[in-house]
Structure 1
Amino acid sequence: MSNALRERTVLPPADRSGLARFARGLADVEAPSRARLVGRDGSQIEIPDELYGVLGDVVAALAQGLAVSIAPHNTMLTTQEAADLLNISRPTLVRLLTEGEVSYTMRGRHRRVMLHDILDYRERTRRERRHVLDQMASDAEDDNLYDVTAVPARTR
């Protein structure tokens, strides 16, 4: 396997001030399609929008002191790879597939899932969870549950 396709984790440097300035500079650029990478010899290459966005995310995370993992993924995943990405069991993923929550294709006897379908499902469920939690908090506030539980009842 080539070096470009290996998984790796990058730790933030001890002095993150340079990264913070770089992150602010990346955020200030209005037209990322004009961004260019300049080599030591002065040669230039345009940075595609997708890569520019990834670079901004990586620099922002490192500037906040977070480590960043870089891992290549196939665009067509096995059920185990998809389950690992969602951090669920393979049988749970298979249930989601058979219930139609995520689309899949059959390759012989094996199910295959497109990476973008898994990422869409993950984002959709995150939005749904966020909405439900917001609704629960709103309902609790409407019912004055925060006032009722502000002082715990004596148990002894």
Structure 2
Amino acid sequence: MDPQLRGDRATVSVTAREVEQAGNIREFLGDERPTLSIQAAGSPETSLTVPAELTSVILQLVDLVGRGCTVTVGSIPAEVTTTVAAQMLNISRPTLMKLVREQRIPSHKVGAHTRLSSRDVIDYRRAQLARQSKAFDELRALEEQWDITD
């Protein structure tokens, strides 16, 4: 595993051996979400229990590596500009500003500039995807109900 570092991102291409190792871990764990402990090499009395939230991130990484995926890890600042938030949502900045004015996404002012919490933007995106998925499911149900085929 040789990460390519670029700013606040690291991209890791995995080897066949690493895919096998991650697969072994996935197979060992099955569907369980265990508590993980880390032990310092050469110091069996020194160990640390990994918090559940971080364990979830580690297990997601192991799952991706086990499937042979190239993994990119990046960071998002806690607070973003309207331009960045619009890019995160894949909408125009004027559309984002309309959502801010309608108070559909929380924001605050820093001087004359509008800033948004990246957590609020991510939560809005998740809700947007859930709404889209629900609408798609309803459309599929109507197609089945009316026996519409391609």
TM-score, normalised relative to structure 1: 0.80
Candidates 103, 112, 115, aligned match of 1:112: 115
Moved more, 132-141 or 113-122: 113-122
Unpaired runs of at least 5, structure 1: 150-156
Residue 97 in structure 1 maps to residue 100 in structure 2: yes
User: Counterpart in 2 of 1:152?
Assistant: none
Candidates 50, 54, 58, aligned match of 1:55: 58
Distance, in Å, in 2 between the alignment partners of 1:128 and 1:86 is: 14
Distance, in Å, in 2 between the alignment partners of 1:14 and 1:31 is: 25
Unpaired runs of at least 5, structure 2: none
Runs of 4+ that moved beyond 4 A = 26-31
Distance, in Å, in 1 between the alignment partners of 2:15 and 2:120 is: 35
The structure with more radius of gyration: 1
Residue 67 in structure 1 maps to residue 70 in structure 2: yes
| 1:69–1:135 distance in 2 versus 1, CA, 3 Å | same
Please state how far the C-alpha of 1:124 moved relative to its aligned partner.
0.6
Is the 8 Å Cα contact of residues 12 and 63 (structure 1) preserved in structure 2? no
TM-score, normalised relative to structure 2: 0.82
State the one-letter code of the partner of 1:100.
Q
Write the deviation string for residues 97-116 of structure 1: whole angstroms up to 9, x where unpaired: 12222111111111111122
State the one-letter code of the partner of 2:42.
D
Is the 8 Å Cα contact of residues 26 and 56 (structure 1) preserved in structure 2? no
For these two proteins, the number of residue pairs brought into alignment is 142
Candidates 8, 12, 15, aligned match of 1:13: 15
| 1:64–1:18 distance in 2 versus 1, CA, 3 Å | same
Q: Give percent identity, aligned residues only.
A: 25
User: Counterpart in 2 of 1:137?
Assistant: 140
Tell me the C-alpha RMSD between the 2 structures. 2.1
